[in-house]
Structure 1
Amino acid sequence: MIPQAKDFYQYFKGCYRLDYREFFVENVLSRKYPFKWFVNGEEELLTEILPIIPYNNKKVADLEKELALYQIEKTLFYGVFFVLGESRNPLIKDKRVCAPLFLFPATIETLDDEKYLSIDRDAFQLNRAVLELFDAADSQNSKDQFVSEISELLEESNPDFIRLQSIVNKHFFNVHTKELLMTPRVWSESSIKNHLKTTSYSEGNFKIVPAAGTVLVKKSESSLKVLDDLSGMAEGNKFNVGFQNLLSGKNERAPVNSSIYKSRLNTDQYQALQNAYRFENSVVVGPPGTGKSYTITNIVSDAVINEQSVLVVSKTKQAVEVLRSMLEDDFKLKKYLIHTTGRNHRVSLKAKIRRYMSGIVAPLYISLEYKKIQKWFTRLTELQIKFENLVSQELKLSDLSFNSELNLFEKWHRFYLNATVAGSTRIWDVFHEIEELTGKLEIAVSSYTKGKIQYNIRHFADLFRTDLSIFYDALDTNSFSQYKRTLAKVKHANILKVFPIWLANLSELNSVLPLQQELFDLVIIDEATQCDIASALPAIYRAKRVVIVGDPNQLRHYSFVSKASQREMRNKYNLPDDKIYDYRNRSILDLYLSKVSSQDQVSFLREHFRSTPSIIEFSNQQFYGGQLQVLKSTPRHTHNSQIRLVRTAGTRNDQGINRVEANEIVSRLKELMRDKEELQLVPSIGVISPFSAQARHINQLIRDNFEIEQIKKFDLFCGTPYNFQGSERDVVFLSFCVSDDSHPSAFIHLNKPEVMNVAITRARSYQYVVTSVDVNVLNTRTLLFQYLRFIDGFVHYNLENKSLDRFQKEVTAALVEKGIDGVRSGYPLAGSVLDLLISQNGKNVFIDLIGYPGSFKSAFSIERYNTLTRTGLICFPLHYSFWQKDQMGAIELIESLLHN
């Protein structure tokens, strides 16, 4: 049963509000909070000694004005139990940390001309800034449990806040709590300032003290915008058609035309592109390194040349930035896309509108381009059919030639084939023409894409000049309210004809786009595993068709909303106990994977481009059932392992830091940079630890040991798997941090499939795995044990087949006689077994032997040739009848491929 749209959207709005991402109050003492006020003496509100307390804030008059003028943007909170210390952020001058653990919405009341303060105990929020400062004793689960136990404490009537000390001590190791025994006596503002002035904090340690006071907080625009959109959607009480059909299981297929991008995509990628047109709702599952971003950019470009508007969104700016770079660099579309996550996007957008309205546009050269592309595609199809027919004739000739019991008709057929097919170079000639034409198409399609988009923009800019002018006026105002009012006059569908590509963060949609159902022809949500359902819904609401892109085996969003809170919220809106309402644990990718009604709507990208077999193979087998086809599997990549295990004698201390591993990594970083610093093109470097304390410690060592120029030159970045999802580096150092005596829950964290999968798949070329644990003490069922064992015993799976048939022997012998060595037979690569592979002069030539009876008789398909070409291979189909007639000519062709 489909829920009422109003109840559905209100439910997710409620969950999102509970998860309140906006409250990151790290230093109440800073100038950001001019209306701050501290309680003196005893705390009486939270401890329920009094329902209201006198509010003797000297700035209360100005504060009330501020609240009246900015009631939407700002909220008054009553903060309790302050965390004191020094900030780890190197970019801020004021290092003081003075952050309330709890924030309660507060109200100023006037009684007999006196000001009083009351709080809403039931609507408390945890200060996210504090939780990020705290280092969990063992894993992120500790923070989960802490939130649960604290919530129970605050929900009690007459809570015993002395218990807060034991709860904090139980879950965090870097927080001193002795001062909590003073509760309800509180520290004054002067006491806090003097303490911070005279006390030095090191190694990320903090103190929590009994203190209380008010702070005026500017609501995070991101959360506010999502909540505002969800409110508007609930008020409308209507799903957009695509989402309605998703929830109901309705699945209509639309007819799909062939795309000019077919020649540049593999089968799975092309299916994803066609699904973006065929279905209102489709999913692309993209494991690490499978060209997910490349697929998205091709879908975007194809949609735009077909005069459709596209919105690409993600939870993180990093994911959007990757797509922006590809669209600008690979497709040369910088002038034609609107990147709302960038700085000063309004200024950029105004400049583009001004340019179009002034007639400052490039000349067009696309009049004959499309016809040429169509003609070439037609010719390419003809050639592919011709190639298949020639191969079919060669295989038939083989069947007849190696059969001694033929009837009269079969003998005549063999005679005919020998006279018309055997011995010619026609198969190679046709294949070579296919390759040349494919190359021409690649260039022509890129040129046409740019020209067609440019033409569309010129055409629609002229057609909708009035809307452009109003839109420019909206962008030109400094008042957000005026901006929204002017924007309401614009027919935004017309603006999207002129500016069809929009890139945005999910949290920013409300400020850059109107809340209009089905505004965009296509909405693509990237890194959807990290996107919670609530923040994704406003983007989906604006879509006619939706493509969800992600990987269920990677890290999800993190939520603090409890199961009990979800249950309460579900009951409030009369919603069933269905998995789609599990806001806490399910991403928007999970929702779509569970709701699409046909497997045809799901595309799985198999070809892995990023890493070498030794780096990706563990994840391939463990998390993807061996379905990934690793393209970097040539002899250069498989001769040696690109992963090195570095064992140390380190231990993980009480602060969650393994100093020996950290020092080992810094030492190797110095060595690597010293060896590569003179190169024109240096490798990018990443350092990953599954534990935040270790990552922070290594970051501190990097700051202490390397100059900023080095860090920038090598694009050096250190973080946890959460920080690295969606990123990659040429060389990665991985610090597991744990040692033999580490607490069991640390190993539990490492045993999370999504944590391990992201951590070990970020390297393109080489990976150092630094560990201090004896593999023999590990539980053999754990991922860490299996991974370390894998590294120790890695051998390129499916080793080459050494047995040769007659055709292979003859060709190999002839090549060796010509001084061509490095010939391998039955070589595994990208999910295929290659008949013969030659590696010489930095080139790899695959010889597809066709027509001799045996396991290598058949030819590869054109699509498989294209896959192998993407690995850098040169493909050469060699049919047996040609070899029999002209061995010297065949060898000369192979030599030319190796030397040209």
Structure 2
Amino acid sequence: MNTQKQRIIVNGKDKTDAIVSYQFAGEKCNVIYNNSDRVYSYNREKVRVIPLCKSIDPQSEVELASNCLANKNSRELFEYFKATAAATSLVSDNGKNILQSQYDRIAAVSEETVLSNYLNENLPIKTYKRSKTVIYPFGLNQSQKLAVENAFSSQISIIQGPPGTGKTQTILNIIANAVYNGKTVAVVSNNNSATMNVVEKLKKKDLSFLTAYLGNSQNKNHFLEDQTGIYPNMEKWVIERERKQKLFDSVKQLSEELNSMLDSKNRIAAIEQELLAIKPEQFYFKKYYSEKKHTEINPQQFTKLSSDKLLSLWIEYEDYAERNAKPSLFKKIVLAFRFSKAALMIFKKVPEKVVPFLQDLYYKHRISELQSEKSALEAQLVNYRFDEKMEELSQKSMKLFKAELAQRYCWQSMRKAFEKKDFYSNSDEFTKEYPVVLSTTYSIKGTLSIDFVYDYLIVDEASQVDLATGVLAFSCAKNIVIVGDEKQLPNVLTSEEIRIADAIWNKHTFDERYHFATHSILASAVEIWKNAPSVLLREHYRCHPKIAGFFNQKFYHGELIVMTKDCGESDVLSVYRTVTGNHARGRMNQRQIDVIQQEILPNLRSRGYQEIGIITPYRDQVTAIKRQLGQEYEIDTVHKFQGREKEAIVLASVDNVIGEFVDDPNMLNVAVSRAVKSLSVVISDSKENEKTNYGDLVKYIRYNNFEIVDSQVFSVFDLLYKGYYAQRLNYLKQHKKISEFDSENLAHSVIESILQMPRFSKIDCIVHSSLATLVKDDSLLTESERRYASNPLTHIDFLLFNRMDKASVMAIEIDGTKYHAEGSRQAERDALKDSVLAKSGISLLRIRTNESGEKERILSMLDQCLG
């Protein structure tokens, strides 16, 4: 046997010199050693034959790693993905299944790769202590900073990147830091446009010489043909050692200084969001307050009280009023010291005058406080020269990065020109020259040597990558950064692909998290690697705050921080309802096309918009609009618009009655988030559309455009009662009202767990809200019901409402067995409340504290209310 041409690894050890012969036979490998005539039979995966292109020293040049496929469960999982790839993946023109052919070439998978962790979730995720300061040559914000740091402190990290949050900028900083530290990086996506975007951004900074855009044969040929044999001129990048150290220290100091300033920047944006939200709420509250008899209390006497103090005073007053009691002399002294002398007068007045007065005052004081805090923070940033310091950090980081590159590359010499064979036989040398390799996820495993392992793999748009493809990519990297957004467009499988994949899946009993037909690689990774650091990129930079407010509330639970400015522009959001009628024919709606041409586009052009995009769910409608409007506007389906943006977007629903395909929440999220300054929505005026996602968009627009909707109830005063609830919990704790506190908290935690379910993302909850701020039309109520409903001390334990228009959805009452016994005074009040809510069109669920199954009952009624 010629040991100069191959090495034989048995159970992770090099046994070449001890072996006389070997032979693979099915799932076994038979080996004869030189010290015995006995035939030793091993499982096939435990024997690995490595062909050598050159003579090596096995002691110093061979690095051995265990084969993770030696684990039975890991091997079976791998074989499942291999079989799924063979059955569902694309076949090339020559009849070759590219994915399957790559799987077939894999005899072993190193335990050093992230695939090993994926197939066996019990393996620990490696953590690292960073040896160098992280650099930010492409800028940063608070979320991006944490995401980049996570990438270099953990073997596996996840970045959730909602629309317009600087996902590409984060990827560029990760690439820069990896290369800065002498590492190789593979950047992959399910399509070429995402990876090409990365290349273009690097090119603008004269860094594209680091990249090799490979993958399929055509890309490889282009790369080989485009080699120039020269490096960029790095003369200006060279920095002497002492100056380089000073630059390094400066970057480190700036990075630390900017932490608190970035917090301030985000706080300013959060304040602007709250101001934008509180203004419509205050507008609707004034409609309620204007119908009340105004009190004689002078608001000037309360100017020194903060909004939180006003809420506390409201709660103190309620406590006495509910007990029909007056403060003692000692308590009056305490109240005067805590609030003011003037505050004492309200305890002499009736709740109908006091509570609405304090509520109205809360809005005024809260807005004033927010504006003052914003001004102070803005002055702090100006004094620090925040924008200049951010730019300084980016520039110095870039200088430091380029100085490292100038030192590493022999840029004054000719650059080696590689041949096609070098991709496979000389991968190490190739990646020293080109440390950043870009490809589709589909092709990355076969781009270089089948056994080559990158230091880092960045999977972009991971929600669109299927498991069979993702698993293959996982096998070629030691560390991984998974980037995507589960709330944008997913991987699309045909019904036939699902049928075939499920037939394979049903032969096994694997954990559901590995199910090809139900999980993208992002969804699967999030569920499997729950201990991996994960960051939501919160800072949003694309859309006008009113546009971003919709998808922020609807899909992201209000977690995004909108960094764009509201300058009081009119008509940011518009709804055009086509009259009821059967205007849709198949997948085309002529009436909506006419509205776009005759009403919407003239309006947008008159407002100076140059970049206008028209998005519709169906290809037939795209064709029809293009036929009528010509080529002046960009018109396409949602899928074609992903990753792009326009000043103004026109969104046409097409369907008379919106169906499941059009109403897909991911598609709507992508469509709305393409609009930078203006969003116009065209929808058929059908009552059946009200309970759709498009219906929620219309509700959001109407609410934020201050449209008064005919209704028996007021919109929910969300921000008012959220602040009230926080103060009330403190009050209950301080006053030892433990039973009330505990039962309310227990019920609240159950409701909150329900509202975390994706299908209830648009629903929110307020606690202990007054019935008086809810009932608007009391014409159907009896006199006793009217008195009961108008009393500000009459509360609803929990009120669930739609975030989009603050409309009530259902009420929940928690009834203690002691106070709600049949025939009691409280039971009489309960009957009044039941009747008032029923006549106001609000569903009510009563839950007794000695009952079980409350979660299931809430779920059932909530589903009924939402239709």
* Corresponding position of 1:473: 419
Whether the 8 Å contact between 1:338 and 1:502 is mirrored in structure 2 is yes
Query: Cα–Cα, structure 1 residues 542 and 263, in superposed 2: closer, same or farther, change >3 Å?
Result: closer
Structure 1 residue 699: Cα displacement: 3.6
Query: Cα–Cα, structure 1 residues 20 and 435, in superposed 2: closer, same or farther, change >3 Å?
Result: closer
Structure 1 residue 640: Cα displacement: 3.0
- Superposition map of 1:817-896 within 5 A: none
1:792 corresponds, among 698, 702, 705, to 702
Distance in 2 between residues matched to 1:528 and 1:688, nearest whole Å: 24
Query: Cα–Cα, structure 1 residues 3 and 647, in superposed 2: closer, same or farther, change >3 Å?
Result: farther
1:526 corresponds, among 454, 460, 481, to 460
Residue 128 (structure 2) pairs with residue 254 (structure 1): yes
* Corresponding position of 1:269: 144
Distance in 2 between residues matched to 1:500 and 1:382, nearest whole Å: 29
Structure 1 residue 659: Cα displacement: 1.1
Whether the 8 Å contact between 2:652 and 2:681 is mirrored in structure 1 is yes
Listed one character per residue, the Cα deviations across residues 307-357 of structure 1 (whole Å, up to 9, x for unaligned) are 21111111122222222222223x33233322237996446533665423x
Question: 1:717 corresponds to which letter in structure 2?
Answer: E
Secondary structure, counterpart of 1:555 in structure 2: coil
Whether the 8 Å contact between 1:268 and 1:604 is mirrored in structure 2 is yes
* Corresponding position of 1:765: 677
Residue 108 (structure 2) pairs with residue 241 (structure 1): no
Residue 15 (structure 2) pairs with residue 15 (structure 1): no
Distance in 1 between residues matched to 2:651 and 2:551, nearest whole Å: 15
* Corresponding position of 1:370: 244
Distance in 1 between residues matched to 2:149 and 2:259, nearest whole Å: 22
* Corresponding position of 1:692: 619
Q: Which runs of 5+ in 1 are unaligned?
A: 23-72, 74-216, 389-404, 406-426, 475-482, 711-715, 802-900
* Corresponding position of 2:575: 645
1:440 corresponds, among 385, 392, 398, to 392
Structure 1 residue 641: Cα displacement: 4.5
Structure 1 residue 514: Cα displacement: 2.3
* Corresponding position of 2:99: 226
Structure 1 residue 530: Cα displacement: 0.8
Secondary structure, counterpart of 2:439 in structure 1: strand
* Corresponding position of 2:509: 576
* Corresponding position of 1:90: none
Whether the 8 Å contact between 1:313 and 1:526 is mirrored in structure 2 is yes
Distance in 1 between residues matched to 2:510 and 2:258, nearest whole Å: 53
Question: 2:134 corresponds to which letter in structure 1?
Answer: S
Distance in 1 between residues matched to 2:84 and 2:583, nearest whole Å: 37
Whether the 8 Å contact between 2:160 and 2:537 is mirrored in structure 1 is yes
Structure 1 residue 612: Cα displacement: 1.2
* Corresponding position of 2:837: none
Structure 1 residue 550: Cα displacement: 0.7
* Corresponding position of 2:519: 586
Whether the 8 Å contact between 2:423 and 2:447 is mirrored in structure 1 is no
Distance in 2 between residues matched to 1:733 and 1:232, nearest whole Å: 49
Distance in 1 between residues matched to 2:574 and 2:216, nearest whole Å: 38
Structure 1 residue 627: Cα displacement: 0.6
* Corresponding position of 1:782: 692
* Corresponding position of 2:554: 622
Whether the 8 Å contact between 1:387 and 1:430 is mirrored in structure 2 is no
Taking structure 1 as the reference length, the TM-score comes to 0.52
Distance in 1 between residues matched to 2:652 and 2:202, nearest whole Å: 34
Distance in 1 between residues matched to 2:506 and 2:225, nearest whole Å: 50
Residue 356 (structure 2) pairs with residue 287 (structure 1): no
* Corresponding position of 2:443: 508
Listed one character per residue, the Cα deviations across residues 384-408 of structure 1 (whole Å, up to 9, x for unaligned) are 79999xxxxxxxxxxxxxxxx9xxx
Question: 1:432 corresponds to which letter in structure 2?
Answer: Y
Distance in 2 between residues matched to 1:732 and 1:800, nearest whole Å: 30
Residue 591 (structure 2) pairs with residue 660 (structure 1): yes
Distance in 1 between residues matched to 2:139 and 2:401, nearest whole Å: 13
Secondary structure, counterpart of 1:644 in structure 2: strand
Distance in 2 between residues matched to 1:227 and 1:343, nearest whole Å: 17
Distance in 1 between residues matched to 2:648 and 2:179, nearest whole Å: 36
Listed one character per residue, the Cα deviations across residues 588-615 of structure 1 (whole Å, up to 9, x for unaligned) are 00111001132x5111111111101221
Distance in 2 between residues matched to 1:361 and 1:352, nearest whole Å: 18
Deviates more, 1:496-505 or 1:6-15: 6-15
- Superposition map of 1:722-761 within 5 A: 722-739=639-656, 742=657, 746-761=658-673
- Superposition map of 1:204-223 within 5 A: 218-219=94-95
Secondary structure, counterpart of 1:473 in structure 2: coil
Query: Cα–Cα, structure 1 residues 3 and 284, in superposed 2: closer, same or farther, change >3 Å?
Result: farther
Structure 1 residue 792: Cα displacement: 1.2
- Superposition map of 1:327-476 within 5 A: 327-329=202-204, 331-340=205-214, 345-346=219-220, 349-350=223-224, 353-356=227-230, 361-368=233-240, 370-377=244-251, 379-380=253-254, 431-432=383-384, 436-458=388-410, 468=416, 472-474=418-420
Query: Cα–Cα, structure 1 residues 487 and 633, in superposed 2: closer, same or farther, change >3 Å?
Result: closer
Distance in 1 between residues matched to 2:459 and 2:260, nearest whole Å: 41
Whether the 8 Å contact between 1:530 and 1:557 is mirrored in structure 2 is yes
Query: Cα–Cα, structure 1 residues 720 and 264, in superposed 2: closer, same or farther, change >3 Å?
Result: same
Structure 1 residue 753: Cα displacement: 1.9
Whether the 8 Å contact between 1:283 and 1:601 is mirrored in structure 2 is yes
Over the matched positions of the two proteins, sequence identity in percent amounts to 22
Query: Cα–Cα, structure 1 residues 699 and 452, in superposed 2: closer, same or farther, change >3 Å?
Result: farther
Residue 564 (structure 2) pairs with residue 632 (structure 1): yes
**How large is the RMSD of aligned CA atoms in angstroms?**
3.7
* Corresponding position of 2:186: 311
Whether the 8 Å contact between 1:380 and 1:434 is mirrored in structure 2 is no
1:548 corresponds, among 478, 482, 489, to 482
Query: Cα–Cα, structure 1 residues 433 and 488, in superposed 2: closer, same or farther, change >3 Å?
Result: closer
Structure 1 residue 370: Cα displacement: 3.3
Whether the 8 Å contact between 2:138 and 2:172 is mirrored in structure 1 is no
Structure 1 residue 299: Cα displacement: 1.1
Listed one character per residue, the Cα deviations across residues 2-55 of structure 1 (whole Å, up to 9, x for unaligned) are 754443233223223333434xxxxxxxxxxxxxxxxxxxxxxxxxxxxxxxxx
Listed one character per residue, the Cα deviations across residues 251-293 of structure 1 (whole Å, up to 9, x for unaligned) are 2311124312199312211111111111111110011111111
Whether the 8 Å contact between 1:10 and 1:231 is mirrored in structure 2 is no
Whether the 8 Å contact between 1:651 and 1:659 is mirrored in structure 2 is no
Query: Cα–Cα, structure 1 residues 639 and 557, in superposed 2: closer, same or farther, change >3 Å?
Result: same
Distance in 2 between residues matched to 1:315 and 1:386, nearest whole Å: 37
Structure 1 residue 243: Cα displacement: 2.4
- Superposition map of 1:595-614 within 5 A: 595-598=528-531, 601-614=533-546
Question: 2:127 corresponds to which letter in structure 1?
Answer: R
Query: Cα–Cα, structure 1 residues 442 and 566, in superposed 2: closer, same or farther, change >3 Å?
Result: closer
Listed one character per residue, the Cα deviations across residues 214-250 of structure 1 (whole Å, up to 9, x for unaligned) are xxx533x7xx3222212223x3265653222243242
Question: 2:477 corresponds to which letter in structure 1?
Answer: A
- Superposition map of 1:80-119 within 5 A: none
Question: 2:614 corresponds to which letter in structure 1?
Answer: V
Whether the 8 Å contact between 2:424 and 2:450 is mirrored in structure 1 is no
Whether the 8 Å contact between 2:445 and 2:476 is mirrored in structure 1 is no
Distance in 1 between residues matched to 2:654 and 2:161, nearest whole Å: 29
Distance in 1 between residues matched to 2:167 and 2:255, nearest whole Å: 27
Taking structure 2 as the reference length, the TM-score comes to 0.54
Distance in 2 between residues matched to 1:624 and 1:558, nearest whole Å: 22
Query: Cα–Cα, structure 1 residues 699 and 4, in superposed 2: closer, same or farther, change >3 Å?
Result: farther
Structure 1 residue 298: Cα displacement: 1.3
Whether the 8 Å contact between 1:460 and 1:498 is mirrored in structure 2 is no
